[in-house]
Structure 1
Amino acid sequence: MQLFVRLWQSLLNPRPTAGDRQFALALSLGFAALYGCLGLRQAFRGAYIIADDGRHHLFWMQRFLDPDLLPQDLITDYFQSLAPWGYLHFYKLFALGGVSPFLLSKILPLVLALSLTPFCFRLALQLYPLPLGGFFSCLLLNQSLWLASDLASATPRAFIYPFFLPFLCALNQTSLWGCAITIALQSLFYPPLSLVYLGLLTLNLGQWRGWRWRLKPLGKAHRLWGVSTIVALVCLVPYAAPNPYGPTITGAEARLLPDFLEGGRSVFFHANPLVYWFTGQDSGLLETSMKEPITLILGLAIPLVALGWRSSSGLWQQLLPPKRLFADLGLTALGLFVLAHLTLFRLYSPNRYTQHTFGLLLVLGAAIVLAQGCRLLSQLWIHPSSQPLGLRGWLQRGLGFLALGAIALGTVFYPCTLTSFIEPEYIQGQQPQLYQFLAQQPKDIQVAALIPEADNINTFSGRSVLASWEQTRPYHVGYHRQIQQRVTALMAAQYTADPAVLLQVVQTYGIDVWLLDNSSFDPAAMAQNRWFQQFPTALDQALAHLHTATPVLQQLQGSCQVLTEGEVVVVDLACGRSYLQSPIAGRNTLKPPDLYPKVGRSRG
């Protein structure tokens, strides 16, 4: 018991020794490692597992190990063109050593969690002296990261906090090299947040006098701003070049696209203004930053402390001078959020500037409030009164101990009650035979599909798919226009009863196999298909065809299928070529599917 009391007192020491800090940091790293290992268990629980966003940012990296994969593929080339320079070359460096990008992406979240935790601890102590505050900051941040998918995705977003936290520590210490290096790394891995860095550096040129901000005399803050700005601009130059699949869509154009409206692939414009401005995906001020863990809501007490509670509690006075971070970071994020809305979508999604910054402020604020509460309760429990304790004294001490235990245990174990904790958005392919079959085909094979499984084809089989719902992104006009053309062509070909129409689409896009499932020719399922609903004219035509004649592909499905797994059927178009080119030929003239162990070529 005495050992426990001494350890607890070390966490509450307002003038912590090196040993006090090391003990609190070790606890923080222990929980970071625990959560990371639980995440590893999810990543390696089976075959064909990848983070949801990996189907955007990782699938094309198979080219690092085999440059012949996915040749001249629109989707692959597009997403590769979006990759930040540092992120791309980071994975490429490991691939040169034979490390698969998919394997690296599963291990990386644990490494990143362990690397960001010491900087979170250090930042918290720069704001509030108790080691317990540093521990709570690390605990809450790691919990929030593993309740979301950013860190586990190992995509550019996973590198935000490993660079953002060191930058804030360096800024508080006015470290020239620290700020310059971290802003360079952030620009190379996740460029949007480098604008937040520049905003903080700009506000750091002045100082707050009450509610007024005044410029500082020329000095270190100005050198810090100048050098960091030059470094950021140099690193951001590559992103100034126009995207080959551009231009970027404007806000006015986006309002006319079903993709950006409710029910669309990239819903942005919500009918409810409260949802649009506060909680909407990509558009909302808060979005995911305040969802979980619920203990983050305690962070809202910090502005209340600053505005009025400080005179009675003294908590605001206990915070160290870098507490101006709360105001600077909040103003910077809010300013960029407004600017991004005014210039849609030139600065990407407005939420990117508030989601992580506000989330970090809530983590720090909640940790400080929790630590201060534990400190006050500990005074009732640990420090004995000089007078003998009566019934009231023992009751007060007992209630203090119970409250303290409830706070500590609740903060640590509360996330374990959530089904989403350490359940990142990993996608597990459900058709292993399909992926293996396609992976055995020529590397330049072209797959056509209008079913959900199309989302996984290029990721798990390394073969090109003509279009997929998951990889339909409307932000660049050139890319989106080509995807739209492909989808409308596929819908026309899949539901036509005219072999000439199907043959024209097959030859135009060089399609080798076509994937169907049990709902492909079900009118009710087609009408409810979110992807099809983006193309109302094509959908109406497809439904009309179904009511008048049997589509050609539906006829070929029985005779030319080379693989059936679950609900998915693979139709070999080389098998049906004779039927497509000679409409008078009957289905009986087709060769049996067992003559096609590998899909033939339909080009030429």
Structure 2
Amino acid sequence: MTNAAGFLLLILPWFPRQFPLVRQIKPNIRLLPQLVAVSLALFLAAHALLFRLHLPSRYTGHSFRMVMSLAGAIALIILIDSAWRFWQPRWAVAVTGLMAAGVLFYPLFVEDFPITSYKVGTAGPLYEFFQKQPTDSLIASLSDEADNLPSFAARSILVGREYAIPYHLGYYREFQKRVSEQLIAQYSSNPADLESFIHKYNVDFWLLRPQELTLDFLAGDRWLQQYGSAAQTAQTGLKNGNLPALQQKITDCLVFQFQDLVVLEANCTAQPVEK
């Protein structure tokens, strides 16, 4: 609500008679559009120099929130002042008080206020385990929990759902290739496919939930189904009753478990399955 009110600051100055307080806006207000312009310029530069200037959203996510919060506050004060002047004296206090109360107390009726979009890690022991591993460790996983590992465990992952963003074709083609190859390796019944994938990308650990190796999970995962031919190949194998080689190595290659998440030593999973 308050952030959306920031757009009113673009309109109110055009009506100084109805909103007299706009005349008190100082020239320094230009700092707000300047901040927006700089943020957009850096956003575009970060796209052009992808990852050399970090993620593009770094330059707009926080600055836009600050601009909209400040602009919204200014706009609401202008509206409250106008209401005070417009209404008859007996109504001025009531109307102004009602508007002020709405601004002050509406957060009580908003779930999870303030809305920060912060991610909260819930697998502390898992993060601690990976933090103890060499810093150059690479983790392969198609689980949603993998998205949290770079931030909370400070370890690299091969792919993550959160990073499936088509910044440009070069980035997304490589990302799509990695996911497709990992899909095939994860659901293949042939240990040679696992070995080839692990050696190609120098994977150290495999993170998954055992239930992710089932046909029901794969068929119901909309994100994985985007990777058409790879997902179809994996599903066909499961439909034919082929047990993924990775599933057969969970007991032998398990190095850590937290709730339903298991961590497997990658090189161990590539060894031939014992009959």
Q: Please give the range of the TM-score, normalised by the shorter of the 2 chains.
A: 0.7 to 0.9
Question: How far 1:442 sits from its partner (Å)?
Answer: 2.6
Question: How far 1:466 sits from its partner (Å)?
Answer: 1.3
Q: How many residues align?
A: 256
Question: How far 1:301 sits from its partner (Å)?
Answer: 8.5
Kindly provide the amino acid, as one letter, of the partner of residue 5 in structure 2. L
Aligned partner of residue 428 in structure 1, secondary structure: coil
Give the one of 573, 579, 587 matched to 2:266. 573
Give me the whole-angstrom Cα distance separating, in 2, the residues matched to 1:423 and 1:467: 28
Asked whether the 8 Å contact 1:467–1:483 carries over to 2, the reply is yes
Question: How far 1:546 sits from its partner (Å)?
Answer: 0.8
Measured at CA, do residues 429 and 301 of structure 1 come closer, stay the same or move farther in structure 2, by a change above 3 Å? closer
Kindly provide the amino acid, as one letter, of the partner of residue 223 in structure 2. W
Q: How does 1:73-84 map to 2 (within 5 A)?
A: none
Please tell me whether residue 293 in structure 1 is matched to residue 14 in structure 2: no
Partner of 2:96: 404
Question: How far 1:427 sits from its partner (Å)?
Answer: 1.7
Asked whether the 8 Å contact 2:123–2:258 carries over to 1, the reply is yes
Partner of 2:126: 434
Give me the whole-angstrom Cα distance separating, in 2, the residues matched to 1:571 and 1:485: 23
Partner of 2:178: 486
Partner of 1:319: 23
Partner of 1:364: 74
Q: Which runs of 5+ in 2 are unaligned?
A: 50-55
Partner of 1:303: 11
Question: How far 1:439 sits from its partner (Å)?
Answer: 1.9
Q: Which runs of 5+ in 1 are unaligned?
A: 1-291, 381-396, 587-604
Measured at CA, do residues 433 and 518 of structure 1 come closer, stay the same or move farther in structure 2, by a change above 3 Å? same
Kindly provide the amino acid, as one letter, of the partner of residue 203 in structure 2. I
Aligned partner of residue 319 in structure 1, secondary structure: helix
Please tell me whether residue 550 in structure 1 is matched to residue 243 in structure 2: yes
Partner of 2:111: 419
Kindly provide the amino acid, as one letter, of the partner of residue 187 in structure 2. Y
Measured at CA, do residues 314 and 537 of structure 1 come closer, stay the same or move farther in structure 2, by a change above 3 Å? closer
1:199-233 CA distances to partner (integer Å, 9 max, x unpaired)? xxxxxxxxxxxxxxxxxxxxxxxxxxxxxxxxxxx
Give the one of 134, 140, 143 matched to 1:451. 143
Asked whether the 8 Å contact 1:435–1:460 carries over to 2, the reply is yes
Give me the whole-angstrom Cα distance separating, in 1, the residues matched to 2:9 and 2:177: 52
Question: How far 1:514 sits from its partner (Å)?
Answer: 1.0
Measured at CA, do residues 467 and 375 of structure 1 come closer, stay the same or move farther in structure 2, by a change above 3 Å? same
Aligned partner of residue 150 in structure 2, secondary structure: helix
Asked whether the 8 Å contact 1:448–1:511 carries over to 2, the reply is yes
Asked whether the 8 Å contact 2:19–2:82 carries over to 1, the reply is no
Please tell me whether residue 561 in structure 1 is matched to residue 254 in structure 2: yes
Question: How far 1:485 sits from its partner (Å)?
Answer: 2.1
Kindly provide the amino acid, as one letter, of the partner of residue 490 in structure 1. Q
Asked whether the 8 Å contact 1:329–1:357 carries over to 2, the reply is no
Give the one of 203, 225, 228 matched to 1:511. 203
Question: How far 1:496 sits from its partner (Å)?
Answer: 0.7
Asked whether the 8 Å contact 2:131–2:153 carries over to 1, the reply is yes
1:268-321 CA distances to partner (integer Å, 9 max, x unpaired)? xxxxxxxxxxxxxxxxxxxxxxxx238828x64873772xx655x4738x6147
Please tell me whether residue 497 in structure 1 is matched to residue 189 in structure 2: yes
Question: How far 1:366 sits from its partner (Å)?
Answer: 2.9
Kindly provide the amino acid, as one letter, of the partner of residue 319 in structure 1. R
Asked whether the 8 Å contact 2:2–2:72 carries over to 1, the reply is no
Kindly provide the amino acid, as one letter, of the partner of residue 104 in structure 2. V
Asked whether the 8 Å contact 1:519–1:526 carries over to 2, the reply is no
Partner of 2:164: 472
Q: Percent identity?
A: 29
Question: How far 1:434 sits from its partner (Å)?
Answer: 1.5
Q: How does 1:197-216 map to 2 (within 5 A)?
A: none
Asked whether the 8 Å contact 1:447–1:464 carries over to 2, the reply is yes
Question: How far 1:346 sits from its partner (Å)?
Answer: 6.0
Question: How far 1:450 sits from its partner (Å)?
Answer: 0.7
Larger Rg: 1
Asked whether the 8 Å contact 1:302–1:369 carries over to 2, the reply is no
Give me the whole-angstrom Cα distance separating, in 2, the residues matched to 1:439 and 1:543: 34
Question: How far 1:356 sits from its partner (Å)?
Answer: 6.1
Q: What's the TM-score once normalised by structure 1's chain length? A: 0.37
Question: How far 1:512 sits from its partner (Å)?
Answer: 2.1
Partner of 1:143: none
Asked whether the 8 Å contact 1:446–1:511 carries over to 2, the reply is yes
Asked whether the 8 Å contact 2:246–2:269 carries over to 1, the reply is no
Question: How far 1:469 sits from its partner (Å)?
Answer: 1.2
Measured at CA, do residues 509 and 421 of structure 1 come closer, stay the same or move farther in structure 2, by a change above 3 Å? same
1:137-189 CA distances to partner (integer Å, 9 max, x unpaired)? xxxxxxxxxxxxxxxxxxxxxxxxxxxxxxxxxxxxxxxxxxxxxxxxxxxxx
Give me the whole-angstrom Cα distance separating, in 1, the residues matched to 2:236 and 2:159: 23
Kindly provide the amino acid, as one letter, of the partner of residue 432 in structure 1. G
Give the one of 197, 209, 221 matched to 1:529. 221
Asked whether the 8 Å contact 1:493–1:505 carries over to 2, the reply is yes
Partner of 2:52: none
1:13-65 CA distances to partner (integer Å, 9 max, x unpaired)? xxxxxxxxxxxxxxxxxxxxxxxxxxxxxxxxxxxxxxxxxxxxxxxxxxxxx
Kindly provide the amino acid, as one letter, of the partner of residue 229 in structure 2. T
Aligned partner of residue 255 in structure 2, secondary structure: strand
Kindly provide the amino acid, as one letter, of the partner of residue 372 in structure 1. S
Measured at CA, do residues 403 and 294 of structure 1 come closer, stay the same or move farther in structure 2, by a change above 3 Å? farther
Give me the whole-angstrom Cα distance separating, in 1, the residues matched to 2:257 and 2:191: 23
